[in-house]
């Protein structure tokens, strides 16, 4: 009997003890659940609503970019026009937004200007700033007299992303490196244009072919190309005739590339001025502070491209030599692909510069070339004497040339007309208006006129004297491989 009672007592004690364990465990679990936050789940996809009055400071995918541009165009049909200049390798549209009080029609006597962003896919700050520039222009037209004047007196073409395929594979937070820099075929688009100083044998890409076709149809006067990896405004020439210095040795040529010296255009004074306009209106650029100890500091925040480091096939040299468009490369972020939370600060730093730079298209001389009956002369060739890179008239006979204050002489040539020279003065306050009437050529003038006709396949205006050909093959052998590798490394570091 006593043994049976002992067994019952033992079971009761075990049951009580087990219950206490369960209670303690439950209490502990409850306490843990109350004191510990749950594991964070993956964030929901950002619900992007294209609202041009509330454009967020994030990196927009190609689809989001497209939605924003379409929504803006629909909301501001009197100030914007959206068009595509072509498609990337992977079929993404290369969208351009025109912002102007006359977005669908050219304004007679008023210039076309442009900005291009994201030519290197892993340098997307410019891509986002150009979206914010579009938003700022359309929302400020009625309230900001300066913006109102800009949009009434020019057409602003904005290509936010020239390399959407590269952007799609680039990584946010990567300040250096090459992932996403190139297009989907592995080509650097800012090494893919025809070059004045060296033959560029790289196969043309759809993105660069689209841009070449674009600028051949519109007479752009001024342009800015937005990059990342440094903080500087860099102006032409980007390439240099280093064969003049280093003719016989491939090794010598390789080291000459990195003992860079300036390669100055005939319009060096204008390019320096344009670069300073951007740098001095920027919050930091004109201080000339190096991004890090291993990179150069730039006096006043500007540099000649070749003096920084030479490159072949750049977009700004091509536009200047072939079409007379003055383009400056704007390196706007030390980090190529900074975190999105920094974008607001980049916009604040660059907003005034982006606006003031465009206004420089109204500096210098502008006018019309007409025949004796007042009919416009299309594709008349012009150059400012002493500045051997020329430009042409539009189909309406218009021309523009950015010049600093001074005395100049304009030379005008057109097939079937006698050439003319006209002296004029440029002042600081406003552009000089200069209308030119050409008279029909006499038979004895025909040889002179023929002399100024462009050769087939050449740029349709004047070019500086071509440097002598190098005495080595820069595209072959060991030294070429080393030089190309160094160029690639340098580009990945600096932009």
Residues annotated catalytic, as ranges: 331
**Could you give the CA distance from residue 328 to residue 282 in angstroms, rounded to a whole number?**
15
- Tell me how crowded residue 82 is: count the other CB atoms within 10 A of its CB: 16
**Could you give the CA distance from residue 342 to residue 93 in angstroms, rounded to a whole number?**
27
Inter-residue contact 401 to 365 (CB < 8 Å): yes
Phi/psi of residue 166, each to 5°? -65, -40
Inter-residue contact 335 to 403 (CB < 8 Å): no
Among the listed residues 445, 359, 394, the one whose alpha carbon sits nearest the alpha carbon of residue 153? 359
**Burial letters 452-471, b for 16+ CB under 10 A, else e:** beeeeeebebbeeeeeeebe
Bridge-partner residues for 332, per DSSP?
231
> Sign of torsion, CA 231 236 242 245?
negative
Among the listed residues 274, 294, 277, the one whose alpha carbon sits nearest the alpha carbon of residue 286? 277
DSSP code string of 243-280: GGT--S-HHHHHHHHHS------TTHHHHHHHHHHHHH
Phi/psi of residue 278, each to 5°? -70, -50
Inter-residue contact 215 to 325 (CB < 8 Å): yes
| Cα–Cα distances in angstroms (integers) from residue 162 to residues 92, 115, 294, 303, in the given order | 10, 11, 30, 24
Q: What angle do CA 353, 56, 94 make, to 5 degrees?
A: 70
Among the listed residues 81, 66, 168, the one whose alpha carbon sits nearest the alpha carbon of residue 124? 168
Bridge-partner residues for 327, per DSSP?
223
Among the listed residues 469, 485, 479, 480, the one whose alpha carbon sits nearest the alpha carbon of residue 197? 469
* DSSP for residue 84: E
**Burial letters 399-411, b for 16+ CB under 10 A, else e:** bbbbbeeeebebb
């Amino acid at each position: 009997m006593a043994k049976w009672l002992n067994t019952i007592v033992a079971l009761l004690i075990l049951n009580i003890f087990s219950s206490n364990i369960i209670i303690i465990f439950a209490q502990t679990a409850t306490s843990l659940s109350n004191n510990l936050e749950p594991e964070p789940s993956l964030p929901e996809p950002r619900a992007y609503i294209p609202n041009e009055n509330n454009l967020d400071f994030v990196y927009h995918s190609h689809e989001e970019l497209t939605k924003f541009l379409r929504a803006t165009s629909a909301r501001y049909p009197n100030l914007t026009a959206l068009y595509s200049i072509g498609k990337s390798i992977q079929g993404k549209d290369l969208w351009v937004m025109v912002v102007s009080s006359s977005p669908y029609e050219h304004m007679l006597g008023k210039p076309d200007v442009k900005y291009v962003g994201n030519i290197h896919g892993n340098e997307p700050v410019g891509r986002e700033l150009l979206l914010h520039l579009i938003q700022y222009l359309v929302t400020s037209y009625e309230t900001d007299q300066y913006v109102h004047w800009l949009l009434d007196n020019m057409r602003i073409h904005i290509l936010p992303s020239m390399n959407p395929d590269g952007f799609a594979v680039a990584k946010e937070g990567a300040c250096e490196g090459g992932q996403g820099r190139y297009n989907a075929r592995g080509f650097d688009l800012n090494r893919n244009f025809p070059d004045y100083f060296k033959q560029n044998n790289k196969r043309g890409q759809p993105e660069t072919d689209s841009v070449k076709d674009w600028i051949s149809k519109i007479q752009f006067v001024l342009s800015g190309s937005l990059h990342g990896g440094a903080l500087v405004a860099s102006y032409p020439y980007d390439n240099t005739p280093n064969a003049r210095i280093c003719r016989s040795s491939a090794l010598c040529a390789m080291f000459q590339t990195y003992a860079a010296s300036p390669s100055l255009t005939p319009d060096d004074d204008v390019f320096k001025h344009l670069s300073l306009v951007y740098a001095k209106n920027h919050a930091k650029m004109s201080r000339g502070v190096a991004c890090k100890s291993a990179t150069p500091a730039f006096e006043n925040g500007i540099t000649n491209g070749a003096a920084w480091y030479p490159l072949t096939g750049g977009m700004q040299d091509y536009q200047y030599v072939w079409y007379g468009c003055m383009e400056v490369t704007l390196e706007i972020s030390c980090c190529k692909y900074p975190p999105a939370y920094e974008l607001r600060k980049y916009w604040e730093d660059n907003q005034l510069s982006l606006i003031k730079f465009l206004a420089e298209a109204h500096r210098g001389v502008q006018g019309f070339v007409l025949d004796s009956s007042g009919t416009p002369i299309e594709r008349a060739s012009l150059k400012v004497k002493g500045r051997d890179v020329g430009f042409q008239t539009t189909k309406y006979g218009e021309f523009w040339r950015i010049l600093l204050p001074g005395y100049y002489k304009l030379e005008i040539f057109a097939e079937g007309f006698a050439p003319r020279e006209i002296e004029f003065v440029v002042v600081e306050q406003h552009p000089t208006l200069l209308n030119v009437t050409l008279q029909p050529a006499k038979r004895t003038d025909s040889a002179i006129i023929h002399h100024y006709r462009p050769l087939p396949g050449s740029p349709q205006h004047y070019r500086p004297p071509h440097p002598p050909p190098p005495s080595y093959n820069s595209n072959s052998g060991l030294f070429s491989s080393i030089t190309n590798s160094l160029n690639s490394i340098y580009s990945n570091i600096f932009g």
